[in-house]
Structure 1
Amino acid sequence: MSEPLRRIDTDICVIGAGSGGLSVAAGAAQLGRDVVLIERGEMGGDCLNWGCVPSKALLAAGKAAQHAREAERFGVHTGEVRVDYAAVHDHIRGVIDAIAPNDSQERFEGLGCTVLREEARFTGPKSLVAGKTEVHADHFVLATGSSPLVPEIEGLEGVPFLTNETLFDLTEAPRHLLIVGGGPIGCEMAQAHRRLGCEVTVLEGGTVLGKDDPELTAVLKARLREEGVRLEENAQVARVRKEGEDLIVTATRDGEDLDVRGSHILVAVGRRTDISALDLEAAGVETNEKGVLVDAQLRTTNKRIYAIGDVNGGLQFTHVAGYQAGIVIRNMLFKVFPQKNDPHRIPHVTYTEPELASVGLTEAQAKEENVSYEVARWNYDENDRAQTERATTGFAKILIGRRGKILGASIVGDGAGELIGAWSLAIANGLKASAFTSTVMPYPTLGEVSKRAAGAYYSPRLFSGRTKRLVGVLSRFD
């Protein structure tokens, strides 16, 4: 006879211990709610173990190597740069280990959560089974994230290939890394590995960084090529084969085959949600090809069940999951003024050098939505701090609507990911460009790029003939 299931009745059951699920669990527990947290894999999810944290640690190693090579620009001579890839691997693991306690089972049990390290399966609208435990909850939150999308490419399953879940296990540098996919992850890993001494080729079926403003991506692509990254655009990967010690990727472009030979293949073409094990049909939750269907308040078709982060088929960023966790906490527990998910306020950053950051509308989106706008911009080479750092490549491009309302901002250049935060603040709070022009920025800082970009919008108005005539009249009065 099988052992009977242990039953737990709780206020909130969170499925998935990645960034979004952990934020909900921590917030609800600290507000006095009973919380069950279920995770079938590693605590911290993709971001900590295979995504944001290890990738940025690898980028930091690549940046250190590159800056050492370029130190002579400042009169500093370092000699030949030698990369110990095994030590780079240890650096990555050290960063993960330093952050891991924040996401650990012990921490969340200390907050009062019941943590189940099992796979969950719904048995009804208000119940699920995880291992030998049956959980009944007033509310559930799906925060199960996503996994690497592996496309159907002839021969791929018959050769060794990497995804972000295996890339950071390497302790020896790839001789020649072939990256399938030219999105943010592909470009970040391309630059990092090139700077660490690897040959790198990126094969992209369309345009590299095709979702971003092409005026800005041109700056980044030029830097990648300058550093020796081979970018093959409009090259649709058709098949893969192994020949001796080499892997050969064949792509088609303009009806012709392009063969590229390398030692390792990294597949970086996107993410997919895997929700089959959850048996969401038993819970009355509808899904589509992207994931779980949600309304503006992030409720599924079962109003007791919410879905946040990658699993709901929206923007796939860690900070989106965190943002949506806050919405769900408010909507589940406070209820008075329901908050809606607003994807327009979400920034995104490609952490290459130069960085590429954006929030709000791009120029292409404004045209598509028939939104009236003006473009204001400011170049890095007109910023004194950028000159001192010899980081003068890049510019800010701001879209401004009627009465100075900020519609969107895109920045390519040193520290763009930090600078975009102020524009995110402005868009989230409906501020006008005058909020930047009236702010005093410390000198010399890159923050002046944002202020001067906003000022560029007002300059034609401020120094117009009409304003000059007005000043002339006013100057006659004592």
Structure 2
Amino acid sequence: MSGLLTPDVCVVGGGSAGLVVAAGAAQLGLDVVLVERALMGGDCLNYGCVPSKALIAAAKAAQAQRSGAAFGIAPVEPAVDFGKVMDHVAGVIAAIAPNDSVERFEKLGVRVLPEEARFVGRTELQAGPHRIRSKRIVLATGSRPALPPVPGLTEVPHFTNETIFANRVLPSHLVVLGGGPIGLEMTQAFRRLGSKVTVLEAATCLAKDDPELAAIVAARLRGEGVDLREKTRATKVERTAEGIAAVLDSGARIEGSHLLVATGRTPTIDGLDLDKAGVAHDRRGITVDDSLRTANRNVWAIGDCNGRYAFTHMAGHEASLFIRGALFRAPAKLDPAIVPWATYTDPELAQVGLNERDARARHGDGIRVLRWNFAENDRAQTERETDGLLKVVTDGRGRILGAGIAGPQAGELIQSWCLALSGRLRISTLAGFVPPYPTLGETAKRAAGSYYTETLFGPRTRGLVRFLARLPVW
């Protein structure tokens, strides 16, 4: 039925951010309308985190068959049925989809409209035949792949993350434009599944991360046979009889069977008619303050569409900030110091807070950099996973500024450091906890403990202990 709807909260976008708001507000007893023009679950469920990690898991299983020699197990080249691999990916999406479905949200009391929304006033939206008026409008429209201005790209068949998981033909030679997290995750997955892969990165791979840690990931990829070319720009792409070709700035030509474009993302805000609502925006996304409010006090923008952090976990976190601030009227502001991210290559790469480069730029030479190699961890040795490094940055008083990990299960191991930054713990807390042995988590304690090595075993302490040793036993 059409007509005027007047919900307490109107959410535009049924991805991670929008679903958290809609579910939370409905369960708090509010009248909620959710407008989603495409698939429920958004990018994360359908084209992003879920299918990519499912593909990575399949690739890891294939790689395990090649990697048994160190354990006394004869390595074999896996027989990959790529169609069944993609059945696995689709099956994982299908298993999770009910959590994000229209049916589930309607049972929670949310009215779901499968329409495209646009503003017609400061507090009014048009969604198909429906006019929606609300004092609280939440924009959670996500982002989409950004295509670089490479001549020929629009005429050449290519994948993005939105299309590659529908492909059921294993590329014989995949050419990847972009050496960021998405590009390198897919690079390693397809290489392990049997594709030849060439990566063309105009700058440096994983440029947002600590260069020392990113180099560990790049070395593994090259060791697995990836042709990883940094500071290499494609000036043109062409269709060939066998697939595609990329012409490089050096004049060289790379020919492949398929092309994947992974050169970043752009906020999905077109078609919203934001100007009619007085919502400020630019090419980076919708402009918000630290409480995620736009220039229109009745409108909030959360998740990728505000251009701040293109991470699913931050979309969920920003949704919780909206609920806390707008619905409970409690203090709720985005804190950039506690934002983590992870790249799920093997080894994984994870970061929270400042890396060494950014900490030096902000705090000068007064910082301390603590390192602990995975080769010095007994569990890593038993599993032959010794390529890795934990780096922690503190100020001169032991306040933790950030931590980065390149190593096995880095996405899991970073969580203790996420907690430390969120709880404003000092390095002494991490040095004092007792982890079970043998675990990879011991790296946290060892790195934190190294903060005190010079003081604990320095000349003054040694002299004090020698003096105390002469006193009667007490």
Scaled by the length of structure 2, the TM-score of the pair is: 0.98
- 2:332 aligned counterpart, secondary structure: coil
Superposed CA offset, 1:356-403 (max 9, x none): 111110111112213431011111011110011110111101101132
Match of 1:375? 369
- 1:257 aligned counterpart, secondary structure: coil
- 1:223 aligned counterpart, secondary structure: helix
Q: How many Å apart are 1:78 and its aligned residue?
A: 5.8
Aligned equivalents of 1:96, 1:437: Cα separation in 2 = 40
Aligned equivalents of 1:166, 1:245: Cα separation in 2 = 20
Kept in 1, the 8 Å contact 2:174–2:198? The answer is yes
Out of 316, 331, 339, the residue aligned to residue 325 of structure 2 is 331
Match of 2:410? 416
- 1:141 and 2:138 aligned: yes
What does residue range 154-169 of structure 1 map to in structure 2 within 5 Å? 154-169=151-166
- 1:385 and 2:382 aligned: no
Match of 1:258? 252
- 2:451 aligned counterpart, secondary structure: helix
What does residue range 32-181 of structure 1 map to in structure 2 within 5 Å? 32-77=29-74, 79-181=76-178
Partner AA of 2:18 in structure 1: G
Aligned equivalents of 1:160, 1:276: Cα separation in 2 = 24
- 1:241 and 2:238 aligned: yes
Superposed CA offset, 1:214-241 (max 9, x none): 1111111111001000011111111011
Aligned equivalents of 1:89, 1:430: Cα separation in 2 = 43
Deviates most, 236-245 or 294-303: 236-245
Match of 1:434? 428
Superposed CA offset, 1:230-257 (max 9, x none): 01111111101112123110121xxx21
Partner AA of 2:46 in structure 1: N
Aligned equivalents of 1:327, 1:227: Cα separation in 2 = 42
Aligned equivalents of 1:239, 1:229: Cα separation in 2 = 22
Aligned equivalents of 1:20, 1:441: Cα separation in 2 = 34
Q: How many Å apart are 1:290 and its aligned residue?
A: 0.5
Partner AA of 1:285 in structure 2: V
Out of 391, 411, 419, the residue aligned to residue 425 of structure 1 is 419
Partner AA of 1:438 in structure 2: G
Aligned equivalents of 1:173, 1:414: Cα separation in 2 = 27
- 2:109 aligned counterpart, secondary structure: coil
Match of 2:308? 314
Q: How many Å apart are 1:282 and its aligned residue?
A: 1.1
Q: How many Å apart are 1:5 and its aligned residue?
A: 4.2
Aligned equivalents of 1:185, 1:270: Cα separation in 2 = 8
Match of 1:269? 263
- 2:370 aligned counterpart, secondary structure: strand
- 1:232 and 2:229 aligned: yes
- 2:406 aligned counterpart, secondary structure: strand
Q: How many Å apart are 1:86 and its aligned residue?
A: 0.2
What does residue range 462-473 of structure 1 map to in structure 2 within 5 Å? 462-473=456-467
- 1:191 aligned counterpart, secondary structure: helix
Kept in 1, the 8 Å contact 2:67–2:75? The answer is no
Match of 1:364? 357
Superposed CA offset, 1:304-326 (max 9, x none): 11111111111111011011111
- 2:333 aligned counterpart, secondary structure: coil
Aligned equivalents of 2:67, 2:162: Cα separation in 1 = 32
- 1:457 aligned counterpart, secondary structure: helix
Match of 2:16? 19
Match of 1:215? 212
Partner AA of 1:463 in structure 2: F
Aligned equivalents of 2:457, 2:183: Cα separation in 1 = 45
- 2:462 aligned counterpart, secondary structure: helix
Q: How many Å apart are 1:258 and its aligned residue?
A: 2.3
Match of 1:348? 341
Aligned equivalents of 1:420, 1:367: Cα separation in 2 = 21
Aligned equivalents of 1:160, 1:410: Cα separation in 2 = 37
Match of 1:474? 468
Q: How many Å apart are 1:136 and its aligned residue?
A: 1.0
Aligned equivalents of 1:258, 1:319: Cα separation in 2 = 40
- 2:285 aligned counterpart, secondary structure: coil
Count residues in correspondence. Answer: 471
Out of 158, 179, 183, the residue aligned to residue 182 of structure 1 is 179
- 1:301 and 2:298 aligned: no
Partner AA of 1:35 in structure 2: V
Structure 2: gaps spanning 5 or more residues: none
Partner AA of 1:109 in structure 2: E
Match of 2:272? 278
Superposed CA offset, 1:72-111 (max 9, x none): 3212236431000000000000000000000000001111
Partner AA of 2:62 in structure 1: A
Superposed CA offset, 1:265-317 (max 9, x none): 00000001131211111111111111100011100001111111111111111
Q: How many Å apart are 1:178 and its aligned residue?
A: 0.3
Aligned equivalents of 1:99, 1:145: Cα separation in 2 = 19
Partner AA of 1:348 in structure 2: W
Aligned equivalents of 1:44, 1:265: Cα separation in 2 = 26
Out of 439, 442, 445, the residue aligned to residue 439 of structure 2 is 445
Match of 1:288? 282
Identity %: 53
